[in-house]
Chain A
Amino acid sequence: MISAVHTLWARAWRGRPPQGWLLLVSLATAILMAAPVLYVGVRALAEDAERWTVLLDERIPALLWNTVSLAAVVGLSAGVLGLSLAWLVARTDLPWRQTLRWLVAIPLAVPPYVGAMTYVVVFGPRGWVSDIVGSTPIDMYSFAGAAFVLSIFTYPYVFLVAGSAVGRMGRAHEDVARSLGLGRFAVLRRVTLPLLRPATGAGIVLVVLYVLSDFGAVALLRYSTLTSAIYYQMGGFDTGAAAILSVVLIALTLVVLGVEASTRRRARFYESSGAAQSPRRIELGRLRWPAFIYVATVFLFAGLMPLMVLGYWTAQGLLIDGLDPRFLQFALNTLQAAGLAAAVAMFLAVPVVYLRSRHASVPAAVIERLAHAGYALPGVIVALGVIFFSLRLAPVVYGTALMLSIAYVIRFLPQAMQSASASLELVSPRIDEAARVAGLRPLGVIVKVISRLIAPGVLAGGALVFVSSAKELPATLLLRPAGFDTLAIRVWVEASDGAYHLAAPPALVMVLLSLLPLKWMLDRFREA
């Protein structure tokens, strides 16, 4: 009997069952990550059927339409922007393409709510343009305004992912097509673009997931989506409704992930490895300068202008009021909450990733998936989950700065996992075996050998978690304890009040902070 259980256990793990402690740590991590989200679902299902019908009839259709249409338009325009830029800088003889490759990635470092703020400053009613010209070309407080701002601050996702695919393309497919008599643009349309479709699609999925989760930008631009409705529902007297709307949003997110998974299965292309030659550089000819103007314009609107607005208002702020004396405390609070999240994420990522890699099996995959639960979900839902969860089960934690770090870990642990996992894949399992043969216990293998080898990847992942946490807005707004404002909070509070000279300094600090890991991300996507 016992031996039968043993056999089943071993079979589930494909003959390599993990050490008890490894399984325990990983499982605990996975449960911690998934629990708050499940709790939101439970809370929503506990609401009366009547509440559901009222919301389903009155609010959800409009919110769903607002959200889906925005996500679709932003996904499409960010896709076009990102793919065209990636192709232009990587494959053509665009002037100054090496520099431009950097410049057009900069918007990734600008949190969209900061970007939205700069657009209100310039194009809002009573903004700079309206002061000078008397009217504005675009109503920022509209669907168009929200779609525009989100597109220009999210296209770098597509740019990076599609860019890495462009970089990996060999010349074989295109050469064959040319030799069969296709013209240059026919090759582009019928060979190159289809080859890039999976990567572009993956980038667009990231954009769409972002749009679903965005709170700050749409709220500043006064556009309603499911996410902002959930936040404001929390501001009303009604967590039940917030939980119900959250379930709708979770369902929408799952649909997006499902579509992505199924398209990825259908569309796979392979480069024959080995003798792949890097592709020919395409001469743009007469289009060379128009193409340059296009790329430069994108940079102007998505990178230069926001940075100039932040620089201008930071200078104004320092001249008018000097630096807010509490600024240092805000920065320290950010450092504390995001730093703790990064440290914890680095510790937790290693066991889960190790389990997934060295004990590859269905249970290991399930654990890894669970640990991703918070990643695709908006910060508002994670915050809602952490609030419900901690109030009922861990009241000691409730209302402390620790809540913020917990929410950040739930939200961003997968960034540390992906980074650690990429490093671990490069370490042969034979090294583990060698270490065992040399007399190390399994724990010693991880601590003394593996951790050392994958340290750069883990640290890089920690840096990503740190930056993402420092920028995080909605969960921070909902979870911060009294007297614990972070830089992101200050940007939000001052920008909502129109005090741009006070909002700009912390915003600029966050943007500069986010530029640091950008170099690393660009390199990683080039190698990937």
Chain B
Amino acid sequence: MRFLLAGLYLYGLFIVQAGILPVGPDFLLLALIVFALHEEKLPSTLLGLFAGLCLDLTAPSHLGVNMFVLSVIGYGVSSIRPLFYRARWHIVIMTVVGLGLKQTIRLITGNGLPQVAPLIVSLVLTLILSPFAEYLVNPLFYPDNFRWQRPQWKSD
């Protein structure tokens, strides 16, 4: 059930990303990384495949590129998550790796190369938002693992 809701949620993010904020942060990638940090490999890979399919449908001649990239990211993040604690800086690192992988594969396959200026804006916004990616998913799907963090003051 949660897997289906996660798919619906990713689809909603896709609508926002493609329809309302075409030059904006890559919400799908951020949400996928957070999902993959909590889910097993198979759901993470399938969620990546579905998110990639949504993105690929906007340019059907490039079908497969985003599907492959996001599936790999979902599988990869889910595979390496036992290696470290879920901290927001780890999400930033994964976002950097994910973005790098995505653009590299796009470049290698020669499919769906975006324009430079929107690409840079999108990359920068995605990186800025990546430390807060947990807020995108966790309050809805993993409330037990999520707590609104307040600043801790040192006591003298």
* Chain A complexes with chain B: no
List residues of chain B with CB under 8 Å of any chain A CB: none
Contacts from A to B (Cβ < 8 Å): none
